[in-house]
Amino acid sequence: MSRIEYIDLEPQQASLPDDLRDRAIDGLEGGKILFLPRYRFVVTDEESTIFSPTIIGNAKNVSYDPRTGVLRGTAASGPETGLLRKMIARFADFAQHLVLQLASPYESGLIRARTSFRPIEIAGRVTSWRKDDTRLHVDSFPSSPTRGKRILRVFTNVNPNSRSRVWRMGEPFEQMAARFLPSIRRPLPCSSGVLNLLRITKTRRTEYDYIMQRLHDRMKADDRYQKEVEQIEFEFPAGSTWLALTDQVSHAVMRGQYQLEQTFLVPVALLRHEPGSPLRVLERLAGRKLA
């Protein structure tokens, strides 16, 4: 089965036919990446002047909180800060408009989380295996438990030198979970409360959050799995946009520079195909309620 669903859509297109929305939702919730080759986010000439890896501080990306307007992870100062904030804020709105076009049933509970700008070339970046995004993984937030909500991400390649962003995609979620879940022990009693009390997590994590983090780590730590699991490679050209439920899609980013990314959280109850969500799949495999 193809892991990529092509959506021929442009930002100025006012209305979408119902069959396209159905295909988009079915693709997303079925573990596919929606690829929009003509859905371009336009960077202004003024904004392009800040396109440099030196705009990053010690973090791997610039992070923007749409709720507060706060920027983190940047070394920019003065007018550069304003330009950077304006560009990322525009992208946050751009991404939300796209999601509501393609998946309008999510609107009532859609939560807009952080936006990021990633100007660093990922190939060759030195980091720990746990933080190495060139290794296949599913997304899980160690300090920000989702408590079963889906992680929906919108990506746009804004590389000014027309260079693609290259991903690998691995096996389906249930197949991966069945492989690693038997090796994951149940969390220690009261561990969720202790982590929250020590402010290691922002809220109490559920057993689902615990398992998802362990799956993320098991995948990344297993060198043999990384090399031998069935996988495909795909290039996202400059100017293209794509989105995926990245808690379900096994993915790795191999190379690329200059990307904008928006994260959303989607309540499981709003899904069209709830039994296929990671929460329900893991509950079925574990034989118990996890959140």
Residues 157-196 pLDDT 10s: 999 999 999 999 999 999 999 999 999 999 888 889 888 9
Q: For residue 233, what are the domain limits?
A: 4-286
147 is a domain residue: yes
User: By three-state DSSP, how is residue 273 classified?
Assistant: coil
State mean pLDDT over 63-70: 90
291 is a domain residue: no
User: By three-state DSSP, how is residue 102 classified?
Assistant: helix
49 is a domain residue: yes
Whether residue 183 contacts residue 218, with contact meaning beta carbons closer than 8 Å, is answered with yes
CA distances from 147 to 223, 248, 279 (A): 29, 15, 9
**Pairwise CA distance, residues 53 & 210, whole Å:** 34
**Residue 167 bridge partners (DSSP):** 234, 253
12 is a domain residue: yes
Angle between helix axes 173-180 and 278-286 (nearest 10 degrees) is: 40
User: By three-state DSSP, how is residue 200 classified?
Assistant: coil
**Pairwise CA distance, residues 76 & 55, whole Å:** 5
Percent residues over pLDDT 90 in the chain: 82
57 is a domain residue: yes
pTM for this model (two decimals) = 0.95
Overall number of domains in the chain: 1
pLDDT, one tens digit per residue, over 139-157 is 999 899 999 999 999 999 9
209 is a domain residue: yes
189 is a domain residue: yes
User: By three-state DSSP, how is residue 35 classified?
Assistant: strand
For residue 200, what pLDDT is reported?
85
Domain CATH code at residue 47: 2.60.120
* Beta pairing class for 111-118 and 259-266: antiparallel
User: By three-state DSSP, how is residue 229 classified?
Assistant: coil
